[in-house]
Amino acid sequence: MARFVSRLSGIAGIPAISMIFLAGCSVFQSSREIDMTPFAQNTALMFAEAAKVGRPPRWDYLKPYYSIPELREIRVRSEPVLRGLRGIVMYSNQLVALNMSTKTDKEKNKLLAAYLREVAAKVADRSRFDSIGVSPSMLDSVFSNIERAATYREGIEAASTLVNAIVLAMLNRLDEVDQAVPIVIGAVDRAIDEEYAEKRANYTNLVRLQTQSLHAMTLLYDGKGGDRAALEKLLEVDPSMREFFASPANVTSKELKAAEESLTMRLERINTFVHHLDDEKAVYSAKQRELETLRVNVEDRIKIARDALMFWAQSHRNLGAGIAVPPLIDVGGIATGLAKKVVPLP
């Protein structure tokens, strides 16, 4: 099928991101109201598409290669992204639900911190949070800031540092998966070729022998019509025919008939063997087609996941900052124009 890492990569730039978001607190005052509609719409639309990422691709002809080491490795690398996407959906749904609830802002922020802890745990174990550029002390500080925030919007804003660290960690992991795709596709391709190497060689040899025998039969027919040059050429093209002619310069009808019967039987046997291998050739071709489909499918899923994360992060950023913006996406363009619309994380 860039072309599904034992641990998350470190993320550079987290301090700079923290400065941006902390600076934002003084610009957007707590009087700003939350415009939850764009965030809710963006979450619903984008993760409806992102859900496709977690669906297992079809394995019809390629099932025998499902457990090769390269495929096992890419599945291990992909799992944190899949868990993270599910966690973000859960967090987003809870964030919207809390906004609609009658709880106080303090209560909402306490629950928001709890939900974010669950999402973070899906991406990396607390003891290994340095793998996404977040120290345990920073983690505690983020959760504390969320719970101490005076308003629900400020609680969402306080979550931005960790949210962006998680998103960037997942984007890094997606890059690693993307880089592994050609390696996996190449490994499967080699496994297919190794399995069919002998059969392909047999098929090639049979087709070559079939072509040679058909040529010999044409020369034999020309020889039966009196073309002696054709008979001489026949013995060059197919030396096995010499056994049927005592004197090539003076052949008899009996000899020509025997040679024709021998060539006919040979062609029938070759044709039978070729047809037997036709089925194997069809399966080989089907595996190659499915492998190419798998490659395109995986690359599409990586793009969907990457774009979904970047869109969602921007929506979350706007929500926490109190910026009222229209929806970032449309249903019609969701699958075709994503890359052109993505605004990178700061």
For the stretch 44-83, pLDDT in tens is: 776 676 677 777 777 888 988 988 999 889 888 888 788 8
The Cα–Cα gap between 243 and 224 comes to 17
Tell me the DSSP string of 18-51. HHHHHHHHHHS-TTPPP-HHHHHHHHHHHHHHHG
pLDDT digits (tens, 9 = 90+) for 15-31: 332 322 333 333 333 34
Q: How far apart are the first and last CA of the chain?
A: 32
> What pLDDT is stored for residue 122 in this prediction?
64
> What pLDDT is stored for residue 124 in this prediction?
57
pLDDT digits (tens, 9 = 90+) for 255-282: 999 999 999 999 999 998 888 888 888 8
Among the listed ranges 137-146, 215-224, 322-331, which one has the minimum average pLDDT value? 322-331
The residues, ordered by sequence, that sit 6+ positions from 160 with a Cβ below 8 Å of its Cβ are 21, 316, 317, 320
Q: Cα 83 from chain centroid?
A: 16
**Better-scored residue on pLDDT, 48 or 203:** 203
Average pLDDT value for residue range 27-39:
60
Average pLDDT value for residue range 161-181:
87
pLDDT value at 223 more than 50: yes
338 band by pLDDT with thresholds 50, 70 and 90? very low
Q: For all residues of the chain together, what is the average pLDDT?
A: 78
